[in-house]
Amino acid sequence: MSEGEIFIHEYDEVDLKDGMVIVGFPSVGLVSSIASNYIVRTMKLERRAAIISKHFPPFTIIHEGIPSPPVRIYSGHRDCEKGERCERLAVITCEFMPQPELIKELSDDILGWCKKKGIATILTLEGINMGGEGDTKVLGVGTTARTREMLTTYGVKELKEGMVTGISGLLLSEGERYQMDVICLLGSARTDVPDARGAANLLDVIGDMLPEIKLDPEPLIKEAEQIENEMQKAMESVQQPKKPVEYSQLYG
């Protein structure tokens, strides 16, 4: 595959200076994709851009009668309290995991786009099988002193030893290299089936960061399960070669 075969198409210009971007590609239990889709629907964000590549699976997402490419970027205005620091918000989401050979270029393109837009914080979501981590449901990793302080502020336990794979892993390593503010939230999830409750755990933390998202637990679980079912059907309809899956993991 040659370089430059992934590009970002903007439907219209969007001002995201000093904003936050949430990145949700499929991971363990699909928790990151379920959570990112929930944010898009709950905050009624509008589709503003798409990430395009001829190497992505050939399918189209239909939502409210409108066809969209599989990797979409949504954004919208946040309704924050007066006097509160209020970052603009964008969400990148999709229903398939890109092939391993696409991950580096895709991550670079996302980081480049965020830098061009003047994004202040990148929040990437990941599922993880925590095994014996007790009651801990969400762990976090930050690339800078500011992002690690944010984790402390929101009561998120840091992942001290482990490995984060895929797009989240590269956003972290490249974000640290260029000292961009990147946070990865790793939510405990089942590895065998889509996990709506695992997505709800991630959303519980995100709800502290974005308090205008009204997180009533029961409707959240119901909505997350609906998104889970829709995503499961979408992924089953896309026949991709089966490859070994590398999961983000903890080290004992």
DSSP letter, residue 156: P
Overall size of the chain counted in residues: 252
Indicate the residue type of 2: S
20-24/89-93 β-pairing: parallel
How far is the CA of 225 from the CAs of 39, 151, 213, in angstroms?
14, 27, 18
The two three-digit tokens of residue 167, written as one number: 């797009």
Predicted TM-score (pTM) of the model is 0.86
Residues 9-65 pLDDT 10s? 999 988 999 999 999 999 988 899 989 988 998 888 999 999 999 999 998 988 888
The percentage of residues in the chain with a pLDDT greater than 70, rounded to a whole number, is 81
Q: Is the dihedral of CA 101, 99, 95, 209 positive or negative?
A: negative
pLDDT beyond 50 at 1 = no
Q: For residue 66, what is the enclosing H or E element?
A: strand 66-68
HEC per residue, 164-198: CCHHHHHHHHHHHHCCCCEEEEEEECCCCCCCHHH
pLDDT at residue number 30: 87
C-alpha to C-alpha distance for 235 and 78, rounded to whole angstroms: 31
- Of 89-98, 153-162, 230-239, the one with minimum mean pLDDT is 230-239
pLDDT at residue number 222: 75
CATH superfamily of 6-238: PAC-like subunit (3.40.50.10900)
Average per-residue pLDDT for the chain: 85
pLDDT beyond 80 at 234 = no
